[in-house]
Chains A and B, each alone.
Chain A
Amino acid sequence: DGGITQSPKYLFRKEGQNVTLSCEQNLNHDAMYWYRQDPGQGLRLIYYSQIVNDFQKGDIAEGYSVSREKKESFPLTVTSAQKNPTAFYLCASRSTLFGPSGEQYFGPGTRLTVT
């Protein structure tokens, strides 16, 4: 089945450690996105990528880094510089063929807890 895979579903880390969240898609989509969601709130955009080897900062990029070496993969690293890393992280992708009308597909999310 085509879709987006995020792993792991739950992740626990100690404060001060960097952690990398995985996102893989087999939908052949050009664009990929990372969002963060805090309890009771909407999603906020961290980073997005329109094409391989290119990415842009979203609204809350500080303390995060990404890479886009392959079309199907867009890993997110939460660095120790991120002051409040505990959150629900969602990866998404979409085809750019349909312009602004294109549907965005979301993964199941990774819940990161940092203590």
Chain B
Amino acid sequence: DAKTTQPNSMESNEEEPVHLPCNHSTISGTDYIHWYRQLPSQGPEYVIHGLTSNVNNRMASLAIAEDRKSSTLILHRATLRDAAVYYCILRGGYNKLIFGAGTRLAVHP
């Protein structure tokens, strides 16, 4: 399974944009890039996913590099409720998500 690399932690101020980076240099052509987030003492929740093109949904945007070796999750206006651990995950097969340690995002009022 291809691995991802994320910073351990990041900080943001409320109502500012946040860019969460992820490196995945060993990604294969069929791997989808998934992002999940986990609030304290809860199960992870889906945020967004993409393959090659940039993606937008009501929660966030996903910017994928042209060579697909990196991607960035963009929260356009951070709120206190966005404080969580964000996981960048590659999925190529039909089976499992491999979770790394993720990025712990702190949002300051």
A42→B42 contact, CB < 8 A: no
How many interface residues does chain A have, given as a range? 20 to 34
How many interface residues does chain B have, given as a range? 20 to 34
Residues of A83-115 at the interface with B, using a CB-CB cut-off of 8 Å, are 88, 90, 92, 96, 99-101, 103-109, 111
Scoring B residues 86 to 103 as 1 if CB is less than 8 Å from chain A, else 0, what string do you get?
A: 010001111111111110
Q: Is the interface of B mostly helix, strand, loop or mixed?
A: loop
B42→A108 contact, CB < 8 A: yes
**In the complex, how many angstroms separate the beta carbon of B8 from the nearest chain A beta carbon?**
10
- Determine whether A27 belongs to the interface, using a CB cutoff of 8 Å to chain B: no
- Determine whether A43 belongs to the interface, using a CB cutoff of 8 Å to chain B: yes
Q: Chain B residues in contact with chain A, CB under 8 A?
A: 30-32, 36, 41-46, 49, 51, 87, 91-102
Q: Chain A residues in contact with chain B, CB under 8 A?
A: 4, 31, 33, 35, 40-45, 48, 50, 56, 58, 88, 90, 92, 96, 99-101, 103-109, 111
